[in-house]
Structure 1
Amino acid sequence: MILILSFIDNDHVRRVVQHLTMPCQVVDIGWFPSRMRMHARTGRRADSFQLTLPDGQRLDLDAVRAVWHRRVRPFTLDPALTDQTARLFAWSECTEALAGMWHAMPCFWMNPPDADDRALKKVMQHRLAHRLGLRVPETLVTNDPDEARAFIDAHAAAGVIRKAFRNIPQAPRNTLLLGPADLARLDSVAYAPVIFQEYVPLALDLRVTVVDGEIHATSFRSRPEYEVDYRPGIGSAEVAPYALPDDVAAKLLALMAQMNLYFAAADFRLTPEGEHVFFEINPAGEYLFCSDRTGQPIPQAIAAALERRARAGGR
């Protein structure tokens, strides 16, 4: 049995499920606890982990041999629970109960939830990638306006990019080259840390999807207006499969191993001089915008990895 922790209306999940030949079940964490029940029994009389799904089906978690953990939704607490302190307590208890059950399941995880959480920390990513020999942009993360000014001055010739750690719907922040308006409000850095990076000259942007050691690299040649961030211009970009050099691939796989990741999507930039510069790695990155344009069999690779690991007894 393969368990997919995600949500039903996820195109990435649907495309993988199409290629699975083993029994599988998609479970939306957002069903819990209002519509889904958990039953973790331990003792002399019983030792079992089960979920009762919204349709009444009982799912035996001890039969699961591989889990794909991808972009889970938050819990949905019962609206009848109106007291804020009670809601916080219920949320905490739900977190502890499910996390304990996941950690106790002796099967293959792509990726383990704690590895996903750790891999999202960009400060850690940058240092680890650098120490493994990947070229990373000169980067400063700070909430000190004076440090920010000094960094910007030191890289004024090439230019400096500013980034957010994570975009949230209420306050989206694009990745942009610093301009006069940004410099004028640089003191606001004191309110929250900002990622500053040297601008890296562009030949190609690269999206590298890794599935259990298998690498699928895609190049994007974008129009000039998307040279800072290729993502808004994906629709008009020239897209093609790309052969990542062996030494860069080896270092990326070492980064994956250090982070205990079996799936991730990494962003690189190829400079005009032929240097591969690592920007970041996303443990639940999207890939259909690559596979659909290039024909690379990424959904098939995910399905094959899950089945291969499941048949190997969850190893």
Structure 2
Amino acid sequence: MTQKIVIITHTEDNFSIDKVTEYIIKNGFEVVRFDVDLYPLTNKLSTIFQDGKWMSFLENEEGKIRIDDVAAVWYRRAYNIGSGLKEELEPKFFGAAMGEIRNTLFGFLESLDCYSLGKPSVYRRLDSKEEQLKIAHKLGLTVPETCITNNPEAAKQFILKHKSVVAKMQTGFAIYEDGVENVVFTNVIEEDNIDQLDNLLYCPMQFQKKIEKKKELRVTVVGQDIFTFEIDSQQSEESKVDWRKDGVNLLQKWVQTELPAEVEGKLRQLLDVYHVDYGAIDIIVSLENDYYFIEINAAGEFFWLDNLTDNNIISKSIADVLCDKAPRRNNGVLI
């Protein structure tokens, strides 16, 4: 019987899913795709303990599929869970129902006794930018001087000390106005505009000493493989502080490069600490050639970099880890 690998994602995910799926099938495995935005209205999930055995089933448009006996799970995305449910339920029931839906889905994912490339609990832990920075510092990685606060006075003192800092949110912070999403990017704050920080009381921010950049790196770690790409973010006024502001125009300008062996070793140690086999890491290379660790993204995107490689080598690496054809960190349920 062909072994199955479950991919947890959503219907609007990009083509990287198809590339990884292609390599998984080449490795001789079957792929079961679980789109969470179709749960629970289309996808049905059942776990049953009966006659001394645990069994789980996913019922979707393709039929009924047993998924407790899978070889591995790739927890990639969990966007728009319960899509369409709000229109089906009375408002007074919607919040409670969504709580049950999320608890049931994430509880199922945590309980699977197999290898998992990503888990909800791991993603929640990696949401802490503060812990990331502290662990990176302990491992010997260089991190920018940082202040995380909702105290306007603490922020002002930090800015006065460093003269020029960048301010950023710790989440994918966006403001929605008239149905339009306005993402809050990283911005520079100078001494002459610190009086604008009084509203910090209502929402904390992260401040870091501004690093003059030579280039920026996106490092994708899969198992023990490391794929490093660089961009000259200083070539555009829009991208100088945050390359994402001009991200579309820079998509084809990333170039594959290599990290110093010492930095690579410390990044592998970082994934060892979190016991994960995937991480998308942002690094700034200063004018003095110092490598500053900025953050690790548990489910950071990789498709635009993979597209610049021969034969989509990042997708192949992910498939090989899932199929146990490459070294990986064991993270099955332990009893």
- Deviation readout 1:223-264 (Å, 9 max, x if unpaired): 141221122334247421111111111111111121122111
Is 2:157 the counterpart of 1:150?
yes
> Is the Cα–Cα contact under 8 Å of residues 65 and 309 in structure 1 kept in the other structure?
no
Q: How many angstroms apart in 2 are the aligned matches of 1:267 and 1:240?
A: 15
1:71 equivalent to 2:77? Answer: yes
1:167-246 equivalent positions in 2, closer than 5 A = 167-168=173-174, 170=176, 171-179=182-190, 182-222=193-233, 223-225=235-237, 226-234=239-247, 235-236=249-250, 238-246=253-261
CA distance in 1: counterparts of 2:7 and 2:48, whole angstroms: 22
Give the counterpart of 1:165 among 138, 162, 170: 170
Q: Which ranges of 4 or more aligned residues in structure 1 deviate by more than 4 Å?
A: 179-182, 309-315
**Secondary structure, aligned partner of 2:283:** strand
Structure 2 segments unaligned to the other structure (5+ residues): 177-181
Correspondence for 2:313: 297
- % identity of equivalent residues: 27
Q: Which residue of 1 aligns with 2:179?
A: none
C-alpha distance in structure 2 between counterparts of 1:246 and 1:213, whole Å: 13
Q: Secondary structure at the match of 1:136?
A: coil
Deviation at 1:35, TM superposition (A): 1.5
Task: Report the TM-score when normalising by structure 1.
Answer: 0.91
Does the aligned pair in 2 maintain the 1:49–1:60 contact within 8 Å? Answer: yes
Instruction: Give the RMSD, CA atoms, in angstroms.
Output: 2.3
Query: What TM-score comes out, normalization by structure 2 length?
Result: 0.86
Structure with more strand by fraction: 2
CA contact (8 A) 1:239 1:294 kept: no
Structure 1: unaligned runs, 5 residues or longer: none
1:87 alignment partner in structure 2 = 94
Question: Deviation per CA, 1:175-234, whole angstroms, max 9, x where unpaired?
Answer: 111147852311011111011000111111000000112100001113141221122334
SS, match of residue 174 in structure 1: coil
How many residues align? The count is 311
Q: For residues 309 and 168 of structure 2, what CA distance do their matches in structure 1 show?
A: 28
Quickly say closer, same or farther: Cα 1:45–1:310, change in 2 above 3 A. Answer: farther
Separation in structure 2 between the aligned mates of residue 169 and residue 17 of structure 1, nearest angstrom: 35
Matches within 5 A, 1:1-315: 1-10=4-13, 11-21=15-25, 22-44=29-51, 47-53=54-60, 55=61, 57-76=63-82, 77=85, 79-84=87-92, 86-156=93-163, 159-166=164-171, 167-168=173-174, 170=176, 171-179=182-190, 182-222=193-233, 223-225=235-237, 226-234=239-247, 235-236=249-250, 238-295=253-310, 297-308=313-324
